[in-house]
Amino acid sequence: MRKYLWAILISLCFSASINRTAAQNQPREQIKSIKSYIVYYGKGRLDDLAKFDLAIIQPDTLSKDELKQLHEKGTLVVSYLSVGEAEPGREWFTDGRVDQKWLLGKNENWGSYFVDASQKGWQDLMVSLTGEFIKKGFDGVFLDTVDTVDQFPQTKQGMIDLIDKLRTAYPDALLVQNRGFSVIEQVQPEIDALMFEDLITSYNFTNKEYIYADNSYTAEQMAALSKRTGLPILALDYAPLDNSAMAYKSIEAAKKYGFIPAVSVINLDDIPDYGLNAEPAEDIRVKSLTVESDGTNNTIVTQIENIGLKSAPNIGLSLTVGGEQIATAKYENVDIGEIKEWRVAWQSASETATIKVTAFSVNDRKAGNNNKTLAYKATSVAVEPLLPPDQQKRRPAENGPDLVATALTKPLTIDGDLTDWADFPCTNVNSKDQLSFGDASLWSGADDLSGRVCYAWDSENIYVAMDITDDVIVQKYEGTNTWHGDHVELWFDTQLQLDFDSATASDDDFQLGLSPGNFKDVKPSIFIWQPAVLDDVYANIEYAVKQTDKGYSAELKIPATVLKGLRLATDNAIGATFDPSDTDEPTGTDQENMLSTAPHTQWGVPTLWNNLILKDTPGAG
């Protein structure tokens, strides 16, 4: 009898061991322990894909047999699926399966269309396509464009329902979500991994340029989520093939937060080698050479960047015009990935000239990119024309009221006290029809959030005064992350005439944020989100915030040299908006509402902004 009992026990243990092994080999279990992954939308390169624990690819780039080969080598494979945007190039778009009534607008960067995920037909299509991909041999799907819900908040519940439907229909499939942080708490139990695209870098589609970004606040949130739930976080950053420093910094940032790193080019059509295993060396390059002009004054602007994997000491710079040296400079140290901007006033600008800048670095192993030459033509420098009012293009009345900047006849004291502004024309935002973002039911009236803004100008600066009513001040952050709490956003389009018809924010469109702090342990702060500027720029902006019995008041003095392209002259019009934002929850993690002088505005769409008209001639003060 004991022999039979022993045999049964051995059999049960063996069976349990097999079951545990089988469970560990299931994709949803396997993804919990991956150490590497790749996103590759090109074709072929099967051997390279097999080096990673997870591969995210397009649905038609590998055959069923090739998918099987990857599985045999232990690589999980998921198919791309855009759940928040419809792509015109897809078969399911061209064959009529996408109803045009589901579309909410166009993503100009990629040519795709934002979709209302709450539409049952769209949800059914996504479930059907996922089934097709799984049948082909994919382990699941990569849910891209979930963050459409951030631009169209009314679609949030629909996106949550869609992801829930996918999990219900395919309980064993991998669901890897890209961004969509505003719904992550609701869908976290249904997904197997979260991608954090653009952790510390991004891509400027207007300038076709890779740039650094600061998403530290959200990164901290997602790191906490991962620690609490065990959800793997996949960090995806972008860097050009020749920029080892940007790739290195991206990977180090991912490791810092406990994320799984990946870096690639913006089109994800390569599996790049950034040379991170090579011996560290400095690599100084001249990033850009431009001329700025306001029609009278000219400035030659040089940016240098260390794209190597070692700090670069003792960098010398030489600037020549027509072969004659006009300026030199020296930097004692340029750190890995650091960018330095050198501005030189060009007093004797000519109609045409050859401008050359050279950077000298003793230990630079790649000196071929240490100089740049500009064939300057005065006519090629974009200068906003000063036109009579009847010849200017101006935004239509349906955008909202014209804002007026009054010429100063005496200096203003920037202290947050608005007594000096008593006689200035100002504009109010205090009604429900001025809500530009958020759920209207969360705005309880003017006592909850409202504001008043006044503008002024002199020969060198734009001034802004604001009086904000906010019954609960919530702000935990300074600088780039202030948008999560109470703050005010100011947009300026400094070259309204030159790009009047452009619906995309460019380098002359500025998004400046001012935070009041919380009048306890968080100080007031400012930040420029668009375009990206170097830290030195902020020192030129003077501002002050004062607490009031209803909320807070603030004043800003913004030099025209900060708002590049701005021309200060009587009757000149630029684009502008005034947008106070409210967060009443003590955690201060999300915007609840935003009011605007241009209530139909969308982020970064200058054609929807107000006119800001400079009135009268400034006095000597």
The closest alpha carbon to 557, from 546, 541, 568, belongs to 541
Cα–Cα distance list, 227 to 18, 43, 258, 439 (Å): 30, 35, 9, 31
User: Is a pLDDT exceeding 90 seen at residue 557?
Assistant: yes
In a domain, 551, yes or no: yes
Give the start-end residues of each E strand in 218-274.
Answer: 233-238, 260-264
In a domain, 500, yes or no: yes
Pair 349, 431 in one domain: no
Pair 403, 481 in one domain: yes
Residue 589 banded pLDDT, cuts 50, 70, 90: low
pTM for this model (two decimals): 0.83
Q: What is the mean pLDDT of residues 535-557?
A: 93
User: Is a pLDDT exceeding 90 seen at residue 297?
Assistant: no
Count CB atoms within 10 A of the CB of residue 240: 16
The pLDDT, as a whole number, for residue 6 is 38
User: Is a pLDDT exceeding 70 seen at residue 1?
Assistant: no
What's 288's domain CATH number? 2.60.40.10
Single out the residue in 357, 380, 403 at which a domain terminates: 380
User: Is a pLDDT exceeding 50 seen at residue 558?
Assistant: yes
In a domain, 92, yes or no: no
Q: What is the mean pLDDT of residues 594-606?
A: 91
The closest alpha carbon to 142, from 105, 116, 174, belongs to 174
- Comparing 17-21, 307-311, 560-564, which segment has the lowest mean pLDDT? 17-21
Instruction: Look up residue 84 and give its two tokens.
Output: 């928040």
Which residues have a Cβ under 8 Å from the Cβ of 486 and sit 6 or more positions away?
A: 470, 473, 474, 475, 515, 516, 581, 582, 583, 588
Average pLDDT value over all residues in the chain:
90
Instruction: Report the distance separating Cα 375 and Cα 360, nearest Å.
Output: 22
Q: What is the mean pLDDT of residues 333-361?
A: 92
In a domain, 593, yes or no: yes
The pLDDT, as a whole number, for residue 57 is 97
Single out the residue in 380, 399, 428 at which a domain terminates: 380
SS3 385: coil
The pLDDT, as a whole number, for residue 204 is 86
What's 549's domain CATH number? 2.60.40.1190
Pair 330, 399 in one domain: no
Query: Rounded to the nearest 10 degrees, what angle do helices 120-136 and 156-169 cross at?
Result: 40
Residue 10 banded pLDDT, cuts 50, 70, 90: very low
Which residues have a Cβ under 8 Å from the Cβ of 506 and sit 6 or more positions away?
A: 206, 207, 499, 531
Pair 394, 360 in one domain: no
Residue 405 banded pLDDT, cuts 50, 70, 90: very high
In a domain, 114, yes or no: no
Chain centroid offset of residue 347 CA: 37
Q: Where do runs of H (alpha helix) occur along 494-536?
A: none
Pair 444, 328 in one domain: no
The closest alpha carbon to 209, from 243, 173, 182, belongs to 243
Contact 473, 551 (CB under 8 A): yes
The pLDDT, as a whole number, for residue 295 is 80
Pair 365, 404 in one domain: no
Boundaries of domain holding 338: 284-380
Single out the residue in 380, 398, 416 at which a domain terminates: 380
pLDDT tens for each residue of 142-194: 999 999 998 888 899 999 999 999 999 999 999 999 999 999 999 999 999 99
Pair 374, 519 in one domain: no
Helices (H) and strands (E) in the chain, counts: 11, 33
Pair 593, 472 in one domain: yes
Q: What is the mean pLDDT of residues 525-554?
A: 91
Pair 564, 426 in one domain: yes
pLDDT tens for each residue of 469-521: 999 999 988 888 888 899 999 999 999 999 999 998 888 999 999 999 999 99
DSSP letter at 411? P
User: Is a pLDDT exceeding 50 seen at residue 55?
Assistant: yes
Instruction: Report the distance separating Cα 109 and Cα 205, nearest Å.
Output: 6
The pLDDT, as a whole number, for residue 618 is 60
Q: What is the mean pLDDT of residues 55-68?
A: 94
User: Is a pLDDT exceeding 70 seen at residue 259?
Assistant: yes
What is the share, in percent, of the chain residues with pLDDT greater than 90? 75
Contact 328, 344 (CB under 8 A): no
Residue 617 banded pLDDT, cuts 50, 70, 90: low
Across 168-172, 293-297, 365-369, the highest mean pLDDT is recorded for: 168-172
User: Is a pLDDT exceeding 60 seen at residue 3?
Assistant: no
Residue 96 banded pLDDT, cuts 50, 70, 90: confident
Say how many domains are in the chain: 2
In a domain, 172, yes or no: no
Instruction: Look up residue 76 and give its two tokens.
Output: 């999980």
Pair 532, 491 in one domain: yes
DSSP letter at 606? G
In a domain, 517, yes or no: yes
Pair 594, 512 in one domain: yes
Pair 457, 537 in one domain: yes
In a domain, 475, yes or no: yes
pLDDT tens for each residue of 410-452: 899 999 999 999 989 999 999 999 999 888 888 999 999 999 9
SS3 520: coil
Residue 18 banded pLDDT, cuts 50, 70, 90: very low
- Specify the long-range contacts of residues 160-165, CB closer than 8 Å, at least 24 apart: 160/186, 160/187, 161/117, 161/118, 161/123, 162/83, 162/117, 162/122, 162/123, 162/126, 163/83, 163/187, 163/190, 163/191, 164/190, 165/123, 165/126, 165/127
pLDDT tens for each residue of 211-221: 998 888 899 99
The closest alpha carbon to 74, from 109, 113, 34, 104, belongs to 34
